[in-house]
Each structure stands twice: as C-alpha cells, then as structure tokens.
A and B are shown apart, each in its own frame.
Chain A
Amino acid sequence: MRQIVIISGKGGTGKTTLSAALAAMGKELTVADCDVDAANLHLLLQPSDESRHPFSTGAKAVIDQQLCTQCGACMDACRFDAIRYQDDRYTISETSCDGCRLCMRICPAGAIHMIESNGSYWTTGTFRNGWMVHARLEPGEENSGKLVNVVREQSRLLSEKKGVDTILIDGPPGTGCSAISALSGADLALLVTEPSRSGFHDLKRVKQLADGFQIPSAVVINKYDLNGKLLDEIEEWCRQENIPLIGKIPFDPAVVEAMLQCRTVVEWAPRSAAAGEIVAIHRQIFQS
C-alpha cells in the first residue's frame, strides 16, 4: 500500500485543490481528509456518506458545588491553570482544562467529575473514484491529532478490506500534532508551497518535519507566477536540498471557478493551464 500525504506548513497554498484534482484522476483509491479542523475536501469530492461514527475528543472536569469543601487541592495540583477561586467558589475553565483527570482523582470530597466531549465524528463513504474517510471536529472541542489518527487508521483498514493500494492524504497546516499524525508512516510527502516569504519559510519547517520521520519529499509550487524572485529562491533551495520539484502550477482563475462549482479543476476546466500542470504532476507521482 502506498500512502501519499499532501502537506504545506502554511495554510491556503492549495493542498485541498491539488488533493481533490489528484483524487479525481485516480482509479480505485482511498482519500483521507486529515485537516479535521477545517475539512474541505468533501466539498469538491462530494462523497456519499455511508456511515458516521461519533468520536470522543476527551473530557472536561466539572466541580459539583454542593459537594465541594473548598480545600483547594485541585487548584494546587492543576498544571494548566484551569481552576480559579472567585466569588467564594472554585470553578474550572472549560477552555483551559486539558482533560487530564488529576483533579478528579485527588479531590477528597469526590466533588469533581468529567464530561465527555463527543460532538465530533468521522465518516466513511464512497466518491466517484473510490473511497473516502473524513471527519468533523466539533467547534470548541480539542485534540485534533487524535481524530487525525483515527482517520488515518480507518482509511488503512478500509483500503485493506477493499484491496485498494493507494491512499491520498490531504493534510492540515502547521507542524504540530495534526500534521505529525497526518505525516507519520506515509511513503511520500508532497510539499505544496507558493512563492512568498511565508510560503518559503513554512516549506522549510515542514520539510524538516518530514525528514524527522524519514519520509521522502517532493515539492509543488502553486501560483508560481505570483512572484519571480521568491520562485527563484525556492527553486534554488530545492536544488541545494536535492528535493525533486515535480510541478509549478500557474495562478489560474479556473481554480477558483471550479471551486465555486464544487468541482475539481481537472474536471471543470480540463484545458486550463492549472489542470494541464496537475495532470503532469499526477503522471510523475503515479507513473514513476
């Protein structure tokens, strides 16, 4: 099984646009949307969702004021600074609580209990060229890396069951837990960047992340014609670092037009310059 992850460090460089286009050109593949904070791939691939599964992102501690003896042990023990004493009572900030359960365990009065956060879910379904696993993180819930792990694991199980040998992973921005979960165990990291100072800075960090997991990288420069100076710098860096530069997609209004129709650019505007370049990228990834 070959797992290809599309990742960028910086957001908005075109990960989902590229993922969806590659998925639309494939045959019998599984697509995993691992940007669970802002999952958009389903808008273009429009999967039929066959089953939805709830997912608990963790739990938050709550103090029962009737039972609390105001000893303050919980506040002393909490390392997340989530417990406050205010207006003659101890309360736990829902946003600061990390769900570690230590306060619940040490409370001598048994006044603290946990409330599970279970508004998030993951879904498996089919789209026009294969299978799809995606997820939705409930607004306000945390621990997206854990949910990304579930999406990865489920896409692997599904692919095994269906005899699919390619998984395409649409990754999240950043370099933290979600990006690590999306990246780990992949066979190729496709790094999507754009010719800007921030795009280049973030590309270098995400490359370092892929290197840390010993995952080979290849670079795609999106909207390459927006700035010639930065384009040269990125191309030079790829040569120095010996990373294959496998595509340069021009800034093309057809990309936005396709998105407005909720279609991929290779399907909506197959003759556009962007689509032509993506077809060439697809060939390089899947025929070499």
Chain B
Amino acid sequence: MKIAIASGKGGTGKTFVSTNLFWVASQKGIDCVLTDCDAEEPNVAEFLAGEEEQVEEVYQQVPVIDPKKCTFCGKCYEYCSYNAILYLPERRMIQVQPDLCHDCGACSYACQAGAITEHPKLLGRVTHAAYGIGQQLIEGRVEVGIYTPVPVITRAIHEAGNRELVFFDSPPGISCPFIATVDRADYVVLVSEPTPFGLHDLQLSVATVRKLSKPFGVVINRAGLGDDAIYRWLEQESIPLLLEIPFDREIARIYAEGGLPSAVNSSYREMFSRLLTQIIQKRVS
C-alpha cells in the first residue's frame, strides 16, 4: 500500500507525520520504506539516520544546437512548447536555454539538419539507506537552482518499489511536484492546521486530490492553537478526520532538534500507531 503524506501549505507537519508513522511501522516489524519526495527541501534525514547503501544521479537530456550545421529554418523554435530556444534569425543566432528545457525531445525531432545533439545535465540524486531490520529510507534531492524536481521525485518513487507499506513524504503546494507524488499513492493523508491559512490551503489540496480520484483523510496538527472553522468544513464535506495532534511546546522543542516524539513519548507512539491502523484499514474497506 502506498501512502502519500501531503498538504498544500508548507510547514503543517508532513515530515513530522511521515517520520513518526514510518518509525511506528518499523517498530512493528512491517516491511516498509519512507521516500522523501520533497526533493527541493528534503528533511527526513534530519530525523531518521539510515545506513547509506547507494547513491544514484538523475540526469535530463539537454539539447545543444551546432550553429555551423543549423540552417536557421526555425522549426525547433516552433516545436518547443517551453520558450527554451532563443532564435534570432536576422542575427544568425540560435541557442537553447537549458533551465527552461523540459527534455521532451521535440526539437531533436524537428531538426532536419542534424544540428541538435543532446547532452546530460545533472538534476539531482536518489539516495538509498538501510534502516532498522530490513526497512529502507529513500531520498530524492535536486541540485539547488534546478527548475523541476519531478524527474528526481519520479525516480525516487520508482526506487521505493512495492513493499507492504510505502510512505511518500510529499512536497508542498498543489502543482507538478505534489501531483507527481500523490498520483502514485493509493491513499493520501492531508496534514493541516486549524487556522485560516490551513483551511484555505486544505480546500485547495482537497480539490486537487479529488480531481486525481484518490481516497484521503485529514490530520489536524497543532490542534488547540486556532479555531474550529476547519472542523466544521470537514464535517460539511464528510471528510474523515483521522487524527488531531495537540500543540505541545515540549514536543516542538524535541522535534526541532531532530528527535522523534514517538521514540521518546509513549502517548505519541500510541497516537501514531492508531493512525497507522486507521490508514491500513482504508485499504481493506
């Protein structure tokens, strides 16, 4: 079963929920893997240390145009849907802007003069680490300055394979990186907080997850800090509230230092254990 832990708003506690869920599952001896899909800002490794086994690099192909062979017909420019080709025929100038390129291959297909060759560009890395008794941590991490993390996320998810439980710690937002992650999950846990920002962004993520036709439930983090508007909305929409995590300054302090509340506090261990059971039951129903 593949479970994505996601949210529209950043900083609601996706990594907090993912790492604790994974830890609880590992303690129970479940065959599981936690995949850090927030490749722009991966944070799982700040909380869970595995034994690094393998690092693979992820590349994309970027076209290079040879101006000596180019006939300046402009067909590649016309075929590019991303404005990645700078084409000034009157100045006999043509150039690919690698940052805008999506590696679709349309320009190579368009070129009849054999002027385009493709060269690999490093996007990021996928790291495998062993954890516990046969469990695994996988991290996708893009290089700083790379426009899209999607190829790195896709590879990380592919590497996670098919274990009994596969957790995806999702990137924030509702755009490509979020969709690339959530679309591969069987069940989505949306993490939010009881504030106007939390509610507004939850509504957007719910709309996105519904478009993808994924079953989902909601975890409210920092309960007690805000108001009850989010609870009324969940009830109105008949969305299951899976868990409320109360705001606790001491727990926030432990977590800030990279500690896992489940590992040091039995009530948190029980809370995440219950959440895990609820999620697994969703597969059965």
Residues of A at under 8 Å CB distance from B? 9-13, 16, 37-38, 40, 43, 58-59, 77, 79-80, 95-96, 98-102, 105-106, 137, 139-145, 172-180, 194-199, 201-202, 205, 208-209, 212, 226-227, 229-230, 251, 253, 256, 259-260, 262
Q: Which residues of the other chain, B, contact A12 by a CB distance below 8 angstroms?
A: 9-12
Q: What CA separation (Å) do A37 and B175 show in the bound complex? A: 6
Partner-contacting stretch, out of B62-70, B130-138, B144-152, B262-270: B144-152
14 residue pairs A–B, Cβ–Cβ below 8 Å: A12-B10, A43-B200, A79-B104, A100-B81, A139-B205, A140-B179, A140-B212, A175-B144, A176-B149, A197-B257, A212-B144, A226-B252, A230-B257, A259-B196
Contact of B196 with A102 in the complex, beta carbons under 8 Å? no
Assuming the contacts A176-B142, A209-B144, asked whether A142 and B176 have C-beta atoms less than 8 A apart, the reply is yes
Q: Which residues of the other chain, B, contact A195 by a CB distance below 8 angstroms?
A: 256
Contact of A174 with B172 in the complex, beta carbons under 8 Å? yes
Among B41, B142, B226, B227, contact of A10 (Cβ-Cβ < 8 Å): B41
Q: Which residues of the other chain, B, contact A209 by a CB distance below 8 angstroms?
A: 144-145
Contact of A139 with B147 in the complex, beta carbons under 8 Å? no
Q: What CA separation (Å) do A102 and B43 show in the bound complex? A: 36
Residues of B at under 8 Å CB distance from A? 8-12, 15, 38, 40-41, 43, 46-47, 79, 81-82, 99, 102-106, 109-110, 142, 144-149, 171-180, 183, 195-197, 200-201, 204-205, 207-208, 211-212, 225-227, 249, 252-253, 255-258
Q: Kindly list the 5 A-B residue pairs having the minimum CB-CB distance in the complex, ordered from nearest.
A: A11-B10, A12-B11, A37-B173, A100-B104, A196-B256
Q: What CA separation (Å) do A118 and B138 show in the bound complex? A: 36
Q: A40-B201, A195-B256 are in contact. List 7 more A-B contacts (CB 8 A).
A: A13-B11, A43-B196, A106-B109, A144-B176, A174-B38, A174-B171, A197-B43
Contact of B104 with A10 in the complex, beta carbons under 8 Å? no
Q: Which residues of the other chain, A, contact B227 by a CB distance below 8 angstroms?
A: 260
Contact of A105 with B109 in the complex, beta carbons under 8 Å? yes
Assuming the contacts A175-B142, A259-B195, asked whether A40 and B149 have C-beta atoms less than 8 A apart, the reply is no
Q: In chain A, what residue has the closest Cβ to B183?
A: A95
Q: What CA separation (Å) do A102 and B47 show in the bound complex? A: 43
Contact of B174 with A37 in the complex, beta carbons under 8 Å? yes
Contact of A260 with B172 in the complex, beta carbons under 8 Å? no
Q: In chain A, what residue has the closest Cβ to B201?
A: A38
Assuming the contacts A43-B197, A227-B257, asked whether A38 and B10 have C-beta atoms less than 8 A apart, the reply is yes
Q: What CA separation (Å) do A98 and B100 show in the bound complex? A: 13
Contact of A37 with B41 in the complex, beta carbons under 8 Å? no
Among B41, B79, B104, B197, contact of A9 (Cβ-Cβ < 8 Å): B41
Among A11, A80, A205, contact of B9 (Cβ-Cβ < 8 Å): A11
Assuming the contacts A40-B9, A209-B145, A227-B257, asked whether A102 and B40 have C-beta atoms less than 8 A apart, the reply is no
Q: What CA separation (Å) do A144 and B180 show in the bound complex? A: 14
Q: Which residues of the other chain, B, contact A105 by a CB distance below 8 angstroms?
A: 79, 106, 109-110
Q: In chain A, what residue has the closest Cβ to B184?
A: A95
Q: Which residues of the other chain, B, contact A137 by a CB distance below 8 angstroms?
A: 174-175
Q: What CA separation (Å) do A220 and B82 show in the bound complex? A: 36
Contact of B173 with A79 in the complex, beta carbons under 8 Å? no
Q: In chain A, what residue has the closest Cβ to B11?
A: A12
Q: Which residues of the other chain, A, contact B179 by a CB distance below 8 angstroms?
A: 95, 140, 142
Q: What CA separation (Å) do A53 and B275 show in the bound complex? A: 43
Shortest Cβ distance from A171 into chain B, in angstroms?
A: 11
Q: In chain B, what residue has the closest Cβ to A145?
A: B147
Shortest Cβ distance from A35 into chain B, in angstroms?
A: 8
Q: What CA separation (Å) do A49 and B46 show in the bound complex? A: 42
Q: In chain A, what residue has the closest Cβ to B221?
A: A12
Q: Which residues of the other chain, B, contact A143 by a CB distance below 8 angstroms?
A: 175-176
Contact of A201 with B46 in the complex, beta carbons under 8 Å? yes
Contact of A101 with B256 in the complex, beta carbons under 8 Å? no
Q: What CA separation (Å) do A144 and B43 show in the bound complex? A: 23
Assuming the contacts A40-B201, A99-B81, asked whether A226 and B256 have C-beta atoms less than 8 A apart, the reply is yes
